[in-house]
């Protein structure tokens, strides 16, 4: 117990003193998470809306593929991205391996299916009477589009929050594609794994506190959205 209390006290000291090494992992996490979430939203929201709103040949196959992507182990995603960006890979000339952008690509592949499938489900779940009423009132396709988006906005926001939580807490992809390079690509999760393994318990606790605070904020946001969606 003394071991834990001493580690916790030192962790608080590291956070209050804004320890550069500790916060370098925080800033790297913030940067890569922002890039990955932006990429997931830019692609996932419109594709998810199209998948949920329109009927087209192969739609069921696309849904099955997205469901498969949701269950794909993250280390496999990391392996695929690593193979693409390694010097012998087809995209090796981009120089993305062991960089923040390279990690963001891998984490985008992690977040994209979450946003896409949850958005598609939200659009499919909108009240059909809304569409029928708008059509009976003479609404055009643009008005129908925005009305559907407005109806599904809370569920789409929940999808974004879920993807954020998954991206910010990922270890395997960050470790394989980023390389866990100190001051550059070391994120909160990879730093926790490394520092704890090295016996630097206080640093691991300090970063764990930051990650728990982020998780708390995300959960509070999700709870607020669910309450508003239910009201």
* pLDDT for res 110: 94
* pLDDT for res 107: 96
* pLDDT for res 230: 61
Reading phi first (left if > 0) and then psi (alpha if -120 to 50, else beta), residue 179 is in left
* pLDDT for res 185: 93
* pLDDT for res 112: 94
Structural domains counted in the chain: 1
Is the pLDDT assigned to residue 1 strictly greater than 80? no
Mean pLDDT, the chain, integer: 85
What is each CA distance from 208 to 33, 202, 212, in whole angstroms? 17, 10, 6
pLDDT band at 218 (very low <50, low <70, confident <90, very high): confident
* pLDDT for res 41: 92
- CATH assignment at residue 35: 1.10.3720.10
Burial 100-118, CB ≥16 within 10 A → b, else e: bebbbbbbbbbbbbbbbbb
Instruction: Domain of residue 107: give its range.
Output: 2-230
pLDDT band at 28 (very low <50, low <70, confident <90, very high): very high
Dihedral over Cα of 47, 51, 54, 60: its sign: positive
* pLDDT for res 135: 61
* pLDDT for res 145: 66
> Model pTM?
0.86
Give the number of C-alpha atoms closer than 13 A to the C-alpha of residue 178, restricted to the C-beta side.
31
163-174 tens-digit pLDDT = 998 999 899 999
């Amino acid at each position: 117990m003394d071991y834990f209390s001493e580690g916790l006290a030192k962790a608080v000291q590291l956070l209050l003193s804004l320890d550069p090494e500790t916060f370098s992992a925080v800033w790297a996490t913030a940067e890569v998470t922002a890039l990955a979430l932006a990429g997931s939203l830019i692609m996932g929201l419109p594709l998810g809306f199209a998948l949920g709103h329109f009927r087209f040949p192969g739609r069921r196959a696309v849904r099955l593929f997205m469901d498969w992507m949701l269950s794909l182990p993250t280390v496999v995603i990391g392996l695929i991205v690593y193979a693409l960006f390694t010097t012998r890979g087809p995209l090796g000339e981009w120089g993305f391996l062991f960089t923040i952008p390279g990690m963001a690509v891998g984490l985008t592949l992690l977040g994209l299916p979450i946003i896409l499938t949850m958005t598609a489900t939200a659009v499919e779940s909108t009240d059909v009477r809304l569409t029928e009423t708008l059509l009976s009132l003479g609404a055009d396709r643009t008005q129908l589009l925005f009305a559907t988006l407005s109806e599904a906005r809370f569920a789409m926001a929940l999808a974004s929050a879920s993807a954020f939580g998954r991206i910010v807490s990922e270890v395997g992809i960050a470790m394989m594609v980023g390389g866990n390079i100190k001051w550059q690509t070391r994120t909160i999760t990879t730093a926790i794994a490394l520092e704890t393994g090295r016996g630097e318990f206080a640093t691991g606790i300090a970063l764990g506190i930051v990650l728990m605070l982020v998780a708390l904020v995300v959960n509070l946001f999700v709870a607020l959205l669910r309450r508003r969606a239910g009201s």
